[in-house]
Amino acid sequence: MAHSHGHAHGHSHAHGHSHSAGQSLRWGLLLTFGFALVEAIAGWWSGSLALLGDAGHMVTDASALGLAALAAWIAKRPPSARHSFGLARAEVLIALVNALFMLAVITGISYEAVQRLQNPQPVQGGAVMIVAAIGLGVNILVAWLLSQGEENLNTRAALLHVMGDLLGSVAALVAGAVIFFTGWTPIDPILSIAISVLILLSTVRLLREALHVLMEGVPAQIDMAEVGRSMAEVKQVKSVHDLHIWTVSSGSIALSAHVVMQDMALWLETLEGLRQMLQERYGIDHVTLQPETAVFPLERGEFRPTRPGHQH
């Protein structure tokens, strides 16, 4: 089996970004966890569910950021005899854990909000406004820090937590203002539920993406049939079959296929042409191809040149 080279560049590129992402995640963790303690105390003192919910979000944010920083560190480990692709997929696994964790938080806050609607509690509106405004500033800073690093499923999962918390701070700020000026306390649990629904939509989307990667799905931006046809158009290629495309980790896509050749003597030249085309056109950097002279019997899922009168 022939295996195209050039993987070293892909690995070193990803590791540099992991370092940048890891640094942003660590700073985000310190800021988030520090303010979560302040907000939890203020929420308990003022009686605000929106503030307590926001503090709960921030504690889960801190956990999410801690897990994400751990994943960024693990992803830097080089390939080994036991893990030939390295441990880069840890970021996808931790993104999945974070999404599940967030679903649990949303459920808890929604339940408590329903209880509060049935049994309204007094809330210190002024204190809620002040603490929520500071929390909003902290969340904006953390979101900015995370947006400076490499975007992957792992940092997106962490950013999702922070953006959800940023919305929570806005909700707490609005709730505090409404209670302070009008005394209408139901706004506190109502806004908590509204924010939970918004976070739920983003969390489900992230959960689906992480599961798709873990189930070896074809990357969303790639049309496998189009890739197969493009490979079949390369000079000396008669057809392509047994084609598989999957995501190794964020920013690293792998492909394996059987290539039926017209002339095996020209395989090395053809391999280089295929590898270059797949990298430039589709961003596929891990390419494993097996050359063959014929297909017996005709394989299911075979791709042939589509241009009429196509000449190699």
pLDDT confidence of residue 312:
46
CATH code (residue 270): 3.30.70.1350
Same domain, 203 and 243: no
For 268, the domain range is 224-292
* % of the chain beyond a pLDDT of 70: 82
- The Cβ of residue 70 has, within 10 Å, a number of other Cβ atoms equal to 16
What distance in Å separates the CA atoms of residue 176 and residue 127, rounded to the nearest whole number? 8
What strand order describes the sheet that includes 284-292?
Answer: 2-3, 284-292, 252-261, 237-249
Q: Is residue 297 a part of any domain in this protein?
A: no
φ and ψ at residue 246, rounded to 5 degrees: -150, 165
| Region 95-121 average pLDDT | 85
Q: Is residue 156 a part of any domain in this protein?
A: yes
pLDDT confidence of residue 297:
56
Q: Would strands 284-292 and 252-261 be described as parallel, antiparallel, or unpaired?
A: parallel
203, 160 Cβ separation under 8 angstroms: yes
Q: Is residue 265 a part of any domain in this protein?
A: yes
CATH code (residue 199): 1.20.1510.10
| Region 175-192 average pLDDT | 88
87, 14 Cβ separation under 8 angstroms: no
* % of the chain beyond a pLDDT of 90: 21
Residue 310 has pLDDT above 70, yes or no: no
- The Cβ of residue 195 has, within 10 Å, a number of other Cβ atoms equal to 27
Same domain, 181 and 277: no
Structural domains in the chain (count): 2
Most confident region among 70-74, 115-119, 223-227 by mean pLDDT = 223-227
Q: What is the pLDDT of residues 34-77, one digit of tens each?
A: 888 887 888 788 877 777 777 766 776 677 667 767 777 777 77
Q: Is residue 312 a part of any domain in this protein?
A: no
Q: What is the pLDDT of residues 18-34, one digit of tens each?
A: 445 567 777 777 787 78
Q: Is residue 88 a part of any domain in this protein?
A: yes
Residue 255 has pLDDT above 90, yes or no: yes
Residue 267 has pLDDT above 80, yes or no: yes
φ and ψ at residue 299, rounded to 5 degrees: -80, 145
pLDDT confidence of residue 19:
44
Q: Is residue 238 a part of any domain in this protein?
A: yes
Q: Is residue 257 a part of any domain in this protein?
A: yes
Same domain, 130 and 6: yes
